[in-house]
Structure formats: C-alpha cells, structure tokens
C-alpha cells in the first residue's frame, strides 16, 4: 500500500527552512515505529534535510530532474510510475514522507494518509500542506499520541 505520512500545524504548516518547525518526541516515535521495516519515499529537498538514510527502511528519493548524489543503499526513482511499479513488487508498505510537491504529485496514487495534527501555529513557516490533498479521503480512525497530538487515518473514498 502507498501511504502518505505527514505532521501538520493548525495553520497548514509542514516546514520551515527545510526542517520540521517543531519537536514532539511522540510524533517522531510514531513516525519511526510506523515506517520501520517499510519503504520511505521523499523528494530531493527532504532527502537533503534528513542528510542520511533512515535506518531499517528502504530509502527512495524521487527526483525528476538534475543529478543527485546518493549513497548506494538509497534508491533513485524518476517517475510516479516507477513508484507504483516498485510498490506493487515490494512486500511491505511504501510511505511518502514529503515534501509538499511530492505529496501533490503522488496524491492520486496514495491510498491512505496518516496525518499528525500539531497543536500549534507556525507563523514563520515557509512550506505548507497543499490545499485539497485530503478531498477524496475520509477519516477511518484516530489515535491520541499525547502531548496534544492526534493522528487521523484517512482512507481513499474514490
């Protein structure tokens, strides 16, 4: 299954200066435990912000343009179709972890969203969740992580 996973502030912010603009250990632990043993797909800017492969996961960078240097254990894909093909052949889930343009370009192949709602506004954010991303999804479950954090599971309705 292809699953989008994101944390979003009340004002729709998801990033500032190519980093998360908050630090909640409950959210980081949820992300780690949820994605461990699966694949994570990210754009080149998200890759740069992380700076290293996430352990115990297949790390995939989606980059349509330019040369990007990656360690040998990180897979480079160039298209949405490559991701769909990889997901079909992969014996685990594939998590799309960002950024905003990757969420937009892959939203039509994402089957489920895991959205952590951050209980604050980030006034100086420079990256926001694209509008209408969840229009074809409905909430099917909710998890309380503590620290004021709520994760909503959204499944595709159409």
Distance CA 3, CA 145 (A): 19
The sign of the torsion formed by the CA atoms of 74, 85, 88, 155 equals: positive
Report the pLDDT value the prediction gives residue 150, as an integer from 0 to 100. 98
In this structure, what token pair is assigned to residue 71?
């360690």
Report the pLDDT value the prediction gives residue 158, as an integer from 0 to 100. 82
Is the preceding omega at residue 72 within 30 degrees of 0, hence cis? no
pTM: 0.95
* Blockwise average pLDDT, block size 10, the chain, 158 residues: 97 95 96 98 93 96 86 94 94 96 95 98 95 96 97 96
Instruction: Provide the 10 A C-beta neighbour count for residue 106.
Output: 19
Cβ(41)–Cβ(94) below 8 Å = yes
Report the pLDDT value the prediction gives residue 36, as an integer from 0 to 100. 98
Report the pLDDT value the prediction gives residue 155, as an integer from 0 to 100. 98
């Amino acid at each position: 299954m292809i699953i989008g996973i994101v944390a979003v502030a009340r004002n729709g912010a998801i990033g500032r200066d190519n980093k998360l603009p908050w630090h909640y250990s409950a959210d980081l632990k949820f992300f780690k435990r949820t994605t461990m043993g699966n694949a994570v797909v990210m754009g080149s800017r998200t890759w740069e912000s992380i700076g290293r492969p996430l352990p115990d996961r297949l790390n995939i960078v989606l980059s349509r343009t330019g040369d990007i240097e990656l360690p040998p254990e990180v897979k480079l894909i160039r298209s949405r179709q490559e991701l769909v093909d990889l997901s079909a052949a992969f014996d685990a889930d594939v998590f799309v972890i960002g950024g905003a343009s990757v969420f937009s370009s892959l939203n039509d192949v994402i089957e489920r969203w895991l959205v952590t709602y951050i209980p604050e506004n980030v006034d100086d954010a420079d990256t926001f969740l694209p509008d209408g991303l969840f229009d074809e999804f409905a909430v099917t479950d909710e998890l309380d992580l503590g620290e004021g954090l709520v994760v909503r599971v959204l499944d595709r309705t159409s």
